[in-house]
Structure 1
Amino acid sequence: MGILEGKNILVAGVTLDTSIGFHVAKIAQQEGATVIVSNFGRAMSLTRRVIKKLDPEPVLLEVDVSNDDQLAALEGNLREHVDRIDGVAHCIAFANPETALGGGFLTTPWPDVSTALQVSAYSLSSLTMAVKPLFGETASVVGFDFDATVAWPVYDWMGVAKAALESTSRYLARYLGPEGVRVNLVSAGPLDTLAKKAIPGSDQFNNLWGERAPLGWDPKDITPAAKAAVALMSDWFPKTTGEMVHVDGGMQKMGA
């Protein structure tokens, strides 16, 4: 019996089979969960194709986390398929690669900063609150981070958004803990996802991790980060909330 046996999990942000969300969905299913996935807009066609690789093929819902109407409709859409949600994997982030990433930090216009913050940080709260009526006595929300305690080259406003994500997760943990909801983050090392490949100059992260991660680091291996999220959504961390679990080969704890 898997560690998510009998649980219903929403995985928000499944695009390609190289996405973190896809691997979370795959491992969650292997661990016994009923999985529902989401995406929105033009990316829905990619998601429809890629989820055919999952067994069973999960339900796909359209959820644009910047669209209040779609968030308001999410509870009802979920209830058509499940009677409760036990876990939410927030695998969502976006910043305009032409203005908010790649070294142009000082000239990024506010509308692009606002989008990065809403989609990459605020959505952890807005998505959680949209799903909250379906939570039972306990539930687990897991987001994905890239350590925002330092300033990285080329990461720019996404780094700021990830710092906001970290703080958002702690406040959600504070306010929702009394209702049995745990909120944690997985801080992964650089992974060769579609989002990372859109960041100008992001290959330098691979070189850095290759030199300094004591456990080594394969940017194409998404399984370790996905396993951490699945573990956090299980009952094996019943009193862990507001935490950031590093899955980065040990890089974060190493000096120069």
Structure 2
Amino acid sequence: MGILEGKNVLVTGVTMNTSIAYSVARIAAEQGATVIVSNFGRAMSLSNRVIQKLEPVPPLIELDVTDDDHLAALPDKIREHVDHLDGVVHSIAYANPETAFADGFLTTPWSDVSQALQVSAYSLATLTTACKPLFGDSASVVGLDFDNSVSWPVYGWMGVSKSTLQSVSRYLARYLGADGVRVNLVAAGPLDTLAKRAIPGGEQFNQVWDERAPLGWDSKDYDSAAKAVVALLSDWFPRTTGEIVHVDGGMHSTGA
């Protein structure tokens, strides 16, 4: 038996087989979970293609976390496949690559800043709230993070969004703990995902990690972060909430 045997899990943001969310969906199923995945818009065709490699092929539902109608309809969409949820994985982030990254921090318009914050951070709260009617006596929500306790070159407003995501997760942990809902984040090091490739100059992160991560770093090792997510979805962390689990080769613990 796997550590997610009998559990139902929604994994958002499964777009490519090089995404952490894809590895989460695969490993969760291997560990016994019934998995549902989501995406929206033009990315749906990419998701539909890539999930055919999973066994079993999970249901794919459309979910735009910035669309109130999508969020309101989410419980009914989930109930078409399972009667409840035990876990939710938030793998959603976006910032305008032309304005919000690199050296544009001081000139990024509010419209792009607000979009980054809504998609990348506020959506953790709205997604969790939308799924809450499906939770039983306990549930686990896990978001994917990049540690932003310090500033980074080129990361710009996505860094601010990640700081906001961390704060949102702590407040969700506070307000949902009485309902048996745990809310945690997994802060992965830089992986060669579609999202990272969209960051101008994002390859700089790999060099920093290569030089400083005590355990070393493999930018194509998606499974290490995914295994941490799956562990937090399981019953093996029953009293852990509001936490950030670092899967970054130890980079967060090192100085200059």
TM over 0.5: yes
Aligned residue identity for 2:189: G
Aligned residue identity for 1:210: D
How many angstroms apart in 2 are the aligned matches of 1:137 and 1:236?
16
Where structure 1 has 5 or more consecutive residues not aligned to the other structure, the ranges are none
Question: Who is 1:65 aligned against?
Answer: 65
Which deviations, in whole Å up to 9, do the C-alpha atoms of 1:217-250 show, x marking residues without a partner? 0011100000000000000000000000000000
How many angstroms apart in 2 are the aligned matches of 1:141 and 1:153?
29
Question: Who is 1:46 aligned against?
Answer: 46
For the residue of structure 2 that corresponds to 1:137, the secondary structure is strand
Question: Who is 1:235 aligned against?
Answer: 235
Which deviations, in whole Å up to 9, do the C-alpha atoms of 1:21-44 show, x marking residues without a partner? 101000000000000000000000
How many angstroms apart in 1 are the aligned matches of 2:40 and 2:102?
25
Aligned residue identity for 1:183: V
Which deviations, in whole Å up to 9, do the C-alpha atoms of 1:115-140 show, x marking residues without a partner? 00000000000000001000010000
1:214 matched to 2:211:
no
Query: In 2, are the aligned partners of 1:196 and 1:202 still within 8 Å (CA)?
Result: yes
1:148: how far off?
1.1
Query: In 2, are the aligned partners of 1:103 and 1:155 still within 8 Å (CA)?
Result: no
1:177 matched to 2:177:
yes
Q: Summarize the alignment of residues 150-189 of structure 1 with structure 2, pairs less than 5 Å apart.
A: 150-189=150-189
How many angstroms apart in 2 are the aligned matches of 1:160 and 1:154?
12
Which deviations, in whole Å up to 9, do the C-alpha atoms of 1:75-102 show, x marking residues without a partner? 0010111011000010000000000012
Question: Who is 1:107 aligned against?
Answer: 107
For the residue of structure 2 that corresponds to 1:187, the secondary structure is strand
1:103: how far off?
1.8
Which deviations, in whole Å up to 9, do the C-alpha atoms of 1:180-211 show, x marking residues without a partner? 00000001000000000000001110000000
How many angstroms apart in 1 are the aligned matches of 2:78 and 2:198?
31
Say what the alpha-carbon RMSD is for the aligned residues. Answer: 0.4
Aligned residue identity for 1:117: L
Query: In 2, are the aligned partners of 1:95 and 1:116 still within 8 Å (CA)?
Result: yes
1:135 matched to 2:102:
no
Aligned residue identity for 2:206: N
Number of aligned positions between the proteins: 256
1:191 matched to 2:191:
yes
- TM norm structure 1: 1.00
Question: Who is 2:17 aligned against?
Answer: 17
How many angstroms apart in 2 are the aligned matches of 1:12 and 1:47?
10
How many angstroms apart in 1 are the aligned matches of 2:77 and 2:187?
30
Identity over the aligned pairs, expressed in percent?
72
Runs of 4+ deviating beyond 2 Å: none
Question: Who is 1:116 aligned against?
Answer: 116
How many angstroms apart in 2 are the aligned matches of 1:203 and 1:78?
37
Aligned residue identity for 1:40: F
How many angstroms apart in 2 are the aligned matches of 1:103 and 1:10?
36
